[in-house]
Structure formats: structure tokens, C-alpha cells
Chains A and B, each alone.
Chain A
Amino acid sequence: MVQTKRRSVIKLAGSAAAVASTGMAGILASGRTPAYAQQKTVHWLRWVDFVPASDTLLRKELIPQAEKELGMKINLETVNGNDLQPRATAAIQSGSGPDLIQAFNNNTYIYANSVVDLSDLVEDLAKREGGLYKYCRSLCSDGKMFMAMPWAVIGAMVAYRKSWFDEAGATKFPETWQEYHDIGKKLKAKGRPIGQTLGHTFGDAPTFTYPFLWSWGGKEVEADGKTVAINSKETLESVKFMTGFWKDACDEGGLAWDDTNNNRAFLSGTISATLNGASIYIETLRKPDQYQTEKGKPMKEDIMHSPLPKGPGGQFGMHLMQSDMLMKYSKNQDAAKEFLRWIHAEKNYGKWFESQKGYSTPPTAKWESSPVWNADPVLAPFKVAARLGQAPGYAGPPNGKAAEALTKYIVTDMYAKAVQGMAPEESVKWAEGELKKIYSA
């Protein structure tokens, strides 16, 4: 019988490991930790999508696929849109947190010092996809760098109940604010007010109050971006109009609404119209049996979309822009860039865009020809949202000061204060004082 010696066993195991180059000895010999321990992780923080199907698509399909193809771990975290800014501040100050953080509108300027320039990625995308919209460019780039990678624009249109407007005598959506007021007054008398928020909430509040201000000819600052110009005859007119509009035509609970309240109110049939993304309509498509009109018909057949009415100063829209910031403190910058490139590739981004069903508009022109826009005429008005939007801070640039004014809800509060009983002159003066504090600093 051949005796097996201890030493020979070790030798044998060692050579086997060396051949397979996986075993402990192989690892020790190479002096490097194995590849699986080095796997990169990208932490991506986003809002909770108002189209739940898209979050499901990301979690169930796109992210697992990206993980497989890129060989990295992707950790998607979704939070209420109103919590994104606090999270970003906390992460930057502590120097750790998500690698990619979603930004809204021109908030990108607030964090300019704490993010990585993404010009190469964005310009590459713009070249591939027929050019980046001016609106998206101005919100994500200060001309020197791209603070964030444009993701999508959530078009804001008035969703309204066609049959109720018909009954009130409006066969088409009102063209001017005065007409909207008059119809709204009739509707409110029937217990079907217009629903609008004047609360501190990221989307529906500023996308209503900013275009409203502009359409009366009002503006925060002059084009020089320094001279505060809010205290004007035009602004005052707009504030006076708003107080009457609010009392006569609106659901007065709107002062305390966030971005979700008007969706719920519309779906439960307590309001006749509200400025919103397409999420209300998409929800009625998803659950036609649950959301019905008082006549027992699916509500989806009674919803139409329209841009906000015109004022003496013109017709405007501001649409919630979403972008992804790559944070400077991130230790996984290369991986995060790699992931951004992957998710913005046409075949991957296209899947996500389709799942949105028209709720959001991509930042590049190419997607205007997508069949998504022909699938449903009710959603067609959203197609050009990103082409038509005007950025906050008008007539100045949408820079950090404009972003500060936006996140302090100064324009929104100016209207909210007047609606609550402050004299319109006083509320305009208050807004002027607040804006001067920002623009003079």
C-alpha cells in the first residue's frame, strides 16, 4: 500500500489550484483579491415614479440586465420627490451617500460645486439623438459644465373632465385666463371646482405659478439676472386675478396640497381640472374599472389635456425637468458613468420611455418621432413639452440664484399669501424683498 504523505497532498492541491487559478493558493500567489470581491456598486437615488409601471420595469428588468452586462451591482432607491433635496444636502455635507442623485429643474446649479462634469456623456448623447433641447441644456449646464445628465421632462398640462366642461358651456378648453375663470366659477358652483396647489411642493406648485406669472407679463428679474423686477404692474394684476380666481373657481383646500393630492382629488371626482403631468390619465388607463364617472363610464374616456391658458403677456409652460447628478464624493464615478451610458443607450432608455406612455418627454429631439406619441391622441400634447418649456429665473438665466428662489417657493408663496388675505400689493412687495435678498447676495 502506498503511503500518502502530508507534504505530497499539499503539493498536489497547490498545483491544482494554480492550474485552475481560483483556489486559495492561487489567490495568494497572485497577491490580489478575487474579482468578485472587487465588484462595483452604484447607488442611484430617484423619486418614486408617478407611473409605477416604470419603477417596476427598472427594478425587474433594466437594472438586473445592466448588472449582468456591466458586471456591477446597482442599488436603486426611490424616495418622495420632496425628499430628494434634503438627501442631496445631507450626502454632500457628510461626503457619502448615493453616487447618482436625481435633480429637479435648475436645482443642479445649487450643487454645481459638488458634482462631476458630465459634458462628454451629454454631448455624446446629444450628437447621437438629434440634439438636446435648449430647455434641458439651460437647466443642466451653466455653459462651462454639465452639472447633471438630462433624464426626462415631465410635461405639465391641464387635465380636465370634458363632459363637465361641456355641461358648463365650454365646448373647447378656455383660451384665456379670464375664460378659464368664468368656466371655473360655473363649475365650482356645481361643486366641481378647479384644483390647484399653492403649497410647498416640487412639481405642481411652481409649474403652475411660474407660467401664470409670465403669462401676465410678470418676471422675477430682468435679463441681466441681477435687477429684481417682480414688483410690476403686471405682477400685481396677476396676483389680483389669482385671488378672485382662487375664491370663485378653485378648491380652496389646494393651499395644503402636495403633488399627490390633486391626483387623488381628480380621480375621486372632486375637481374638474388640474395642471398635472399625464399621471392622472395614465392611472385611469391602468384601472378603468376603479375610476369611473358619475354616469358609470370609465373616467379615461372623459379626460382631455390642454396647455395653460393665455394671458396678456402670452402663453407659457414650465415642465419639471429631471436629471441625474454624479456626485463628486462618489468612489464609483467610473462605474456610475458606465451605467449612465448604458441606461441612456437607445434600446435601454427606449424601454423605459415606452413604459412611461407619454408621461415624460425625453431630452433629445429624436424621440419626437417615436410611435409612443401616436398611440393615444390624449397624450399627444405632451410630445413637445420639452421644446416649449421656459426655465425658472426668467428673464434672467436659470442659475443658482433662480434655483434658490424656486426652492424657497417665493413666487408660489406670493400668490398663496394673497389668496390667504394679504393685500396683493403687500404680497408682491414681500416677494420683491425676498428676491432682492437672494439676488443681491
Chain B
Amino acid sequence: MTVTAVPGVAERQRPAPRLRKLEDERWLALALLMPTAILLGLFIAYPFVEGVLLALSDARVGYAGHFVGLANFAKLWDDNIFWTSVWNTFWYTGVTTVFKLGLGLWLAMLLNRHFRGKALVRAFILLPFIIPTVLSTFAWKWMFDPTFSVINWTLYQLGFITQRINWLGDPGLAMSSIIVVNIWRGVPFFAISLLAGLQTISPELNEAAAIDGARPWARFWLITWPLLLPVTMVVMLFSVIQTFADFQLVYVMTGGGPANATHLFATYAYQIGIGTGLLSQGAAVSLAMFPFLFLIVVVQLLYIRRVEVR
């Protein structure tokens, strides 16, 4: 037995021919990239391609459908609910991002100071972000309830209103209500991320500027803001992508109503595709989101690069 073991050991010292290939960097790189590529392909590329194919067919629930070219998109062009949801999505994303950035930055600046119970406050700030969206949105839905709204009740008791405010029944108010909830939910993410950014800025810079006689406002604009900009842009990028494709908040609060007034891309796609079962048209709606989102992301990424180079 020992006789046969000797050549075995000798063989093990040299890598097997297949493994030897990995000594070549190109093959090694390929092998190391493979897991990621497979994951991306399986969970991102494949569904995306399927989505595109679906959008180019006339598939309905239970019917595989045939290729119809761009017919679904032509239909969307004439669909005013679709255009309402396009406008809504931009409005929703734009307004909420501005407010989330403003409030988040303000909160981050406050949290960056030293005060008692700092850790506790920081933890509590995160609550809206931690609670599952559907859960907190249900709470908000009750607060905006047409009949039992606690906000209306309070305003009524304080004598500010004599009639109920129709929070979710009026198209404009419904959109505003949704925007408020999104801001409430999104501010902690901005605050905590920007706080992390603030803490990387050396306090000496501010101190030096203060000694030179710079007032707080000047210190913010000339020192804090430029140094925080790269972090801000990345946070904005994440937030814009998430908000643009938001679904659960609107679905729970209004379901896209009243009379389709608050639909976003995602909720309208869901209503047509999953609700009514017109899968191809639903896919077309959600695919229509892609060019817009792509453009926004490209612009932001270019901007981030410029900021970083500077």
C-alpha cells in the first residue's frame, strides 16, 4: 500500500491540468466573475428580457400570445391614464426627493451635534425606515381615512375646519397625502446616510474657518456642502430609483385612485397586468419606465463622476 501512495503524493504537488488553466489571469478572472454573472443573468437579465418579450406580445392571463411588435406601446400613447401616471411619477419623485434631501440634511446637521441621549435619538430617527412599509402605510391610511381620519378630528376639535377634508378622495389631496407619507418614510435614510458623510469631514476645517471669521452659513456652503456632495449624490441616486419605481405605498394608500388619479408606473402596470390580466400591456407600462429611469441614472452618474474628479 505504501508503494502506491508515493506517486499519489507526487502527483498532488503539481496542479491538475484543468486547474493549471487558472494560473492564466484571464481564465481566473472569468472564473471569479462567473458566480456574479450567473446571478445577474438569472435574476436581472432573464426577467428583463422576458419582460421585453412580453411587452411585444399580446399575452393575456392563460394565453401565451403572439408577437405584435410595438402595438402595446401604441396603445399606451393614446392612454391618458398612462400619461397621468407618467406625470404623477415625475411629480412624486421630484417633490419627495427635494423634501427628503432638505429635511434629511437638516436632521443630519442636528444629529451631528453633541447632546445628551444622542445615540437613542439616532436610533429612533430610523424608525419610519425600519417599520415595514405596508404596515406604516396602513397606519397612515387610517389617519387619512375619509370618515374616521384622526387628522380631521383634531383639526375639527381645534376649530380649524367645519367640514371633513377628503384626503384620499380628492385627486390633488390624495397625491399630496402620498407624497407626505413618502417623505416621512424617506427622511431617515437621507439623515443617517448624510450623517455618516458629515462625520467624515474633519472638524478642523470648520474650526479653522471659524477662526478666520467665517460665519456658520458660509462655513456650510463653502466647506460642509462641497465635501458632502459626493455622498449626497449617491444617496439621491438610490432614493430617486426607489421612489420612481415605488409601488407598495401607493397601492396601500389609494390603489391608484380616486379614478386613476394617483397611479405611478408600477401601480398602473400592476392594475392592468395582474389585476385585469392583460399581461403584455402591463409589461409595456412597466417597461416604459425604463428609458426615463435610465436617463435619470445616467445624468446622475455623470454628475457624480464630475463631482468626484473635482
Near A by CB (< 8 A), chain B positions 254-310 give 254-261, 270-279
Contact stretch, chosen from A249-257, A282-290, A292-300: A249-257
**Complexed CA–CA distance, A437 and B276 (Å):** 14
Kindly state whether residue B51 has any CB partner on chain A within 8 Å: no
Residues of chain A within 8 A of B255, CB atoms compared = 82, 199-200, 258
- Whether the pair A198, B277 counts as a contact (CB closer than 8 A) is no
Residues of chain A within 8 A of B148, CB atoms compared = 264, 268
Residues of chain A within 8 A of B270, CB atoms compared = 86
Kindly state whether residue B207 has any CB partner on chain A within 8 Å: no
Kindly state whether residue A162 has any CB partner on chain B within 8 Å: no
With known contacts A114-B61, A254-B169, A86–B275 Cβ distance under 8 A = yes
- Whether the pair A86, B147 counts as a contact (CB closer than 8 A) is no
Residues of chain A within 8 A of B62, CB atoms compared = 92, 111-114
Residues of chain B within 8 A of A255, CB atoms compared = 146, 166, 168-170, 257-259
Kindly state whether residue B63 has any CB partner on chain A within 8 Å: yes
Across the two chains, which residue of chain A brings its CB closest to B276?
A: A407
Residues of chain B within 8 A of A85, CB atoms compared = 274-277
Partner of A407, one of B63, B257, B275: B275
- Whether the pair A264, B147 counts as a contact (CB closer than 8 A) is yes
Query: Chain B's nearest CB lies how many Å from the CB of A114?
Result: 4
Query: Chain B's nearest CB lies how many Å from the CB of A189?
Result: 13
Partner of B61, one of A88, A408, A412, A433: A88
The number of chain A residues with a CB under 8 A from chain B is: 40
- Whether the pair B259, A261 counts as a contact (CB closer than 8 A) is no
Kindly state whether residue B202 has any CB partner on chain A within 8 Å: no
**Complexed CA–CA distance, A72 and B271 (Å):** 36
Partner of A416, one of B166, B168, B258, B278: B258
**Complexed CA–CA distance, A111 and B278 (Å):** 11
- Whether the pair A420, B276 counts as a contact (CB closer than 8 A) is no
With known contacts A92-B61, A404-B276, A408-B276, A261–B169 Cβ distance under 8 A = no
Partner of A93, one of B75, B256, B259, B279: B279
Kindly state whether residue A417 has any CB partner on chain B within 8 Å: yes
Partner of A110, one of B168, B169, B254, B277: B277
Kindly state whether residue A270 has any CB partner on chain B within 8 Å: yes
- Whether the pair A256, B274 counts as a contact (CB closer than 8 A) is no
Residues of chain A within 8 A of B279, CB atoms compared = 89, 93
- Whether the pair A256, B254 counts as a contact (CB closer than 8 A) is yes
Query: Chain B's nearest CB lies how many Å from the CB of A441?
Result: 8
**Complexed CA–CA distance, A392 and B274 (Å):** 21
Kindly state whether residue B80 has any CB partner on chain A within 8 Å: yes
Query: Chain B's nearest CB lies how many Å from the CB of A111?
Result: 6
Residues of chain B within 8 A of A433, CB atoms compared = 78
Kindly state whether residue B118 has any CB partner on chain A within 8 Å: no
Near B by CB (< 8 A), chain A positions 15-50 give none
Partner of A256, one of B146, B260, B273: B146
**Complexed CA–CA distance, A8 and B166 (Å):** 86
Residues of chain A within 8 A of B276, CB atoms compared = 85, 110, 404, 407-408
Of all A-B residue pairs in the complex, the 10 with the closest CB atoms, nearest first, are A253-B146, A255-B169, A114-B62, A416-B259, A256-B168, A255-B258, A113-B62, A256-B169, A413-B259, A86-B274
Give 20 pairs: A residue, B residue, CB < 8 Å, sorted on A: A85-B274, A85-B277, A86-B274, A88-B61, A89-B273, A111-B277, A113-B62, A199-B255, A251-B146, A253-B169, A255-B259, A256-B167, A256-B257, A261-B145, A264-B147, A265-B146, A268-B147, A407-B276, A408-B272, A433-B78
